Structure 1
Amino acid sequence: MLVQNPPSIPTLLVVSLVCFFRGTRLVVDWHNFGYSILALKLGPNHPMVQVSKLYEMTFAKAANANFTVTNAMAKVLKSDFVTKAPVLTLHDRPADLYQPLANSERIAFLQRYPLLAEHFNPIVDGKVRLVVSSTSWTADEDFGIFLDALCSYSASATSSHPQLPELAVVITGKGPQKQYYLDKIKELRSGDSLEMVNIYTDWLSFEDYALLLGSADLGVSLHTSSSGVDLPMKVVDMFGAGLPVAGWSNFAAWPELVTENVNGRGFSSAEGLADILRELFDPDSEQLSHLKKGARLESKRRWGGEWDNIAGKLFGLVS
């Protein structure tokens, strides 16, 4: 039986009991730790968080084998959870839906995408740069950092760096903090803090989201990692579309996904992100072009090879 964690409660208890009574081998696919996600809401020292961690550590020992999404997570599972079962790193890879686009495909999508209609010609001509980010608008992604960086970029573009292009920023997703940030964006616009930046929010089908990623110049990830050892799937999808990434990098597992100055850039502050935007979008710079080449190369890494190499061998499906 293969089960993904989280959700941890009551999943790990139920599958452990079922596997025990049926004599079935249990494999847990660790994408994160449930207790670390709960800690975002309650705080790391809350009794429920401590109980959740003990619960997870206890039932982890029932597994006959484990997959983790990062090497860093594998180390935690072996050291803190003290599991004696095999722990194999199975990195996430993009679904086939996410693919680099030919220029004709990019133009075709932008032509029919109403949200960016007024920017169509400038985006195609490279006079406006398209930036995309996705979020669930939750506490583990501080979009205030992104807004501060965009304000700093806009201030530079209207003063010390007049060569910088205008930005069209599309943020996709739904979640509890969305209205808070929409109000903040409205406030910044009224104060002329986003003179060179146009921000839009949207909710797209999987197909159109994949096309939007393939049409963009840069993807931005604000995922901060509740455990420090998980990775944002959104970055995996961006790489699948051949899109270079600027992402929050202040956690242990980040280097397992992004190779600095090859397919993306990491930041740990709003001004750090603003510096990246200024550097990449400077018309005299070739950095963005270099990162795009790296991201397209990264897009060739797919589920087939990863799964067959790791899971396929464990399950005896591949020799």
Structure 2
Amino acid sequence: MQHATVVVLGDIGHSPRMCFHVMSLTAKGIPVEFVGYQESKPNDRLLNDPLVTFVPISSPPASLSKLPSIFSLFIKLIWMLCTLSCALFYQTQFSTCLILVQNPPGVPTLLIAWIASKVKRAAFVIDWHNYTSSIIRYNYDLDAKNLTIARKFLKFIANFVARFEGYFGKCAKFNYCVSNSMRDDLKTKWNVNAVTHYDRPPSWKFKCLSVEEKHKFFWKLCDHPDFSSLISQKQEFIKTSSETTLFSYRDKDGVAKLRNDRPLLLISSTSWTKDEDFGILLDALRKYDTSPPPKRSSLMLPKIFVVITGKGPMKEQYLERINKIRWRYVTIVTPWLEAEDYPVMLGCADLGVSLHASTSGLDLPMKVVDMLGCRVPVLAKKFDAIGELVKPTNGKLFKSMEELCNLLVEMSAGFPDTSKVLTELKNQLMEEYSGSWEAQWDANFWPPIEGLLMSKMHEKRRRERFSDDGYSDESD
């Protein structure tokens, strides 16, 4: 049977789009070897899929980051070159018909995967999430003036990587990308023809929740170490109620209901890095928290309960800032959630915030896709391509802290009973249907791959037929 090989030179557990590709391929009966780092636990559905074989590779030692940039990049490159080559040439089967690669990171992934595709006579396919070159330029601030000699050399490397990406884009059998803006840029910049395959939430994972489902999760959080002291409530809210939380309760008939005095539940996910400036949200919340009492009263502004998920290098720095502020109307929690709890947490939210600022201006944040899949309106930081995802019918865009604060006030005014703008967006989201991941994948990704598999099958049968004919001639 023909196999497929999916490669991501990153943590498999934090590569949802590639995980969805793998599950979609196995749903068609195609065994998949999934190559990547295993630093966090993937989804149980993926782990329990009998057609998925994980091929783990070791990530570069964290200590390399302490070296000067040029030396660190060089040693990491050698490390990845060796580990990925070992995985693709010695730990995976030769009979693969497809090698699907995520870019970025493209160096050395594209080169090694392309060589492997030639050796194994497999189709080389690239899924473009962003550009490796744009990430290098952003991380090392290579567009600044008065660069040092070291940074000038890094800029030379970034320009070389851009040409490297473009070359292998033209070598690929098929190219897919995450936005129309990226599709057009690939064509203009490198004459690479790509098909836009938007991220969409899988129907089994991200969905709108009922009040009963929300209450069960809120009640579960009462035992969570990050939430228990904040959302557990005494039974005095309503004398005949039970299982009372900050957001919900059960009435005397055992029916789950949302509280009329609950805070607005706002959720955001961040990588805690400089390309996602959490300071914008923090400052906007601070300004909201210090709104004058007459304004709060006239607009009926609720308290806001903020859940920030994710991990990253600047998390502790921002936590120090959060803890130094004396909050009155805002509560901020930065919990660690299990993989199965994250989509439920999203489904319980009233509003989402995305701070993603693309290094290329062309990719789209998966976190926003997840929020919209749970029918949660989104406030997103503005950049070139974001309008393909966040539209007037499902959210609003902001550029600055002031704009974000104004949107928070606009959305929350009168919550939960008379929040006109937020309610209208939620209603439009409930009516709007942009398709599930499965429907999009079957329409965009599968047809050319199916054609490829059919041609491979016909070629194999033709070789077997010729081999049988030759054997018959010799026996005569």
In structure 2, the CA distance between the partners of 1:200 and 1:38, relative to structure 1 (3 Å rule), is same
TM-score scaled by length of structure 2: 0.62
Query: Which of 116, 123, 129 is the equivalent residue of 1:25?
Result: 123
Q: Is residue 303 from structure 1 mapped to residue 401 from structure 2 by the alignment? A: no
Letter in 2 for 1:316: E
Secondary structure in 1 aligned to 2:116?
A: helix
Which whole-Å CA distance do the structure 2 matches of 1:256 and 1:157 have between them? 37
In structure 2, the CA distance between the partners of 1:240 and 1:122, relative to structure 1 (3 Å rule), is closer
Q: Which residue is 2:240 aligned to?
A: none
Letter in 1 for 2:406: D
* Native 8 Å contact 2:218 2:247 kept in 1: no
Which whole-Å CA distance do the structure 2 matches of 1:126 and 1:17 have between them? 61
Deviates more, 1:178-187 or 1:37-46: 37-46
* Native 8 Å contact 2:100 2:124 kept in 1: yes
Map 1:1-319 onto structure 2 (within 5 A). 1-45=99-143, 46-83=155-192, 86-95=193-202, 96-114=204-222, 115=227, 116-118=230-232, 120-122=245-247, 124-127=258-261, 128-156=263-291, 158-162=293-297, 163-189=300-326, 194-249=327-382, 251-260=383-392, 262-283=393-414, 284-298=418-432, 301-316=435-450
Structure of higher RCO (CA pairs closer than 8 Å, 6+ residues apart)? 1
Deviates more, 1:290-299 or 1:239-248: 290-299
Letter in 2 for 1:34: T
* Native 8 Å contact 1:133 1:221 kept in 2: yes
Secondary structure in 2 aligned to 1:67?
A: strand
Which whole-Å CA distance do the structure 2 matches of 1:43 and 1:299 have between them? 40
Quote the RMSD (CA, aligned, Å): 2.0
Shift of 1:47: 2.9
Give CA deviations for 1:117-156 in whole Å, capped at 9, x if unaligned. Answer: 2473356324311101111211210000001110111122
In structure 2, the CA distance between the partners of 1:235 and 1:286, relative to structure 1 (3 Å rule), is same
Which whole-Å CA distance do the structure 2 matches of 1:300 and 1:204 have between them? 27
Which whole-Å CA distance do the structure 1 matches of 2:196 and 2:205 have between them? 23
Which whole-Å CA distance do the structure 2 matches of 1:313 and 1:287 have between them? 41
* Native 8 Å contact 2:126 2:176 kept in 1: yes
Which whole-Å CA distance do the structure 1 matches of 2:379 and 2:101 have between them? 32
Shift of 1:40: 2.5
Secondary structure in 1 aligned to 2:274?
A: coil
Secondary structure in 2 aligned to 1:291?
A: helix
User: Paired residues, what number?
Assistant: 311
TM-score scaled by length of structure 1: 0.91
* Native 8 Å contact 1:66 1:88 kept in 2: yes
Which whole-Å CA distance do the structure 2 matches of 1:33 and 1:129 have between them? 37
Which whole-Å CA distance do the structure 1 matches of 2:292 and 2:209 have between them? 29
Which whole-Å CA distance do the structure 1 matches of 2:371 and 2:172 have between them? 32
Give CA deviations for 1:88-138 in whole Å, capped at 9, x if unaligned. Answer: 000001122111100111111111213142473356324311101111211
Q: Which has the larger radius of gyration?
A: 2
Give CA deviations for 1:218-247 in whole Å, capped at 9, x if unaligned. Answer: 011100111100010001111111111111
In structure 2, the CA distance between the partners of 1:231 and 1:300, relative to structure 1 (3 Å rule), is closer
Shift of 1:316: 2.9
Which whole-Å CA distance do the structure 2 matches of 1:53 and 1:300 have between them? 33
Which whole-Å CA distance do the structure 2 matches of 1:157 and 1:263 have between them? 30
Shift of 1:299: 6.0
Which whole-Å CA distance do the structure 1 matches of 2:419 and 2:350 have between them? 14
Which whole-Å CA distance do the structure 1 matches of 2:337 and 2:113 have between them? 35
Letter in 2 for 1:158: P
Secondary structure in 2 aligned to 1:315?
A: helix
Which whole-Å CA distance do the structure 2 matches of 1:176 and 1:68 have between them? 28
In structure 2, the CA distance between the partners of 1:294 and 1:157, relative to structure 1 (3 Å rule), is farther
* Native 8 Å contact 2:394 2:429 kept in 1: yes
Structure 2 residue ranges without an equivalent (≥5): 1-98, 144-154, 234-244, 249-257, 455-476
Give CA deviations for 1:176-195 in whole Å, capped at 9, x if unaligned. Answer: 00001001111223xxxx32
In structure 2, the CA distance between the partners of 1:79 and 1:125, relative to structure 1 (3 Å rule), is same
Give CA deviations for 1:8-31 in whole Å, capped at 9, x if unaligned. Answer: 111001112222344432221101
* Native 8 Å contact 2:273 2:314 kept in 1: yes
Secondary structure in 2 aligned to 1:224?
A: coil
Q: Which residue is 2:57 aligned to?
A: none
Letter in 2 for 1:205: E
Deviates more, 1:55-64 or 1:215-224: 55-64
Structure 1 residue ranges without an equivalent (≥5): none
Shift of 1:38: 2.0
Give CA deviations for 1:247-280 in whole Å, capped at 9, x if unaligned. Answer: 102x1111111112x1111111111111111011
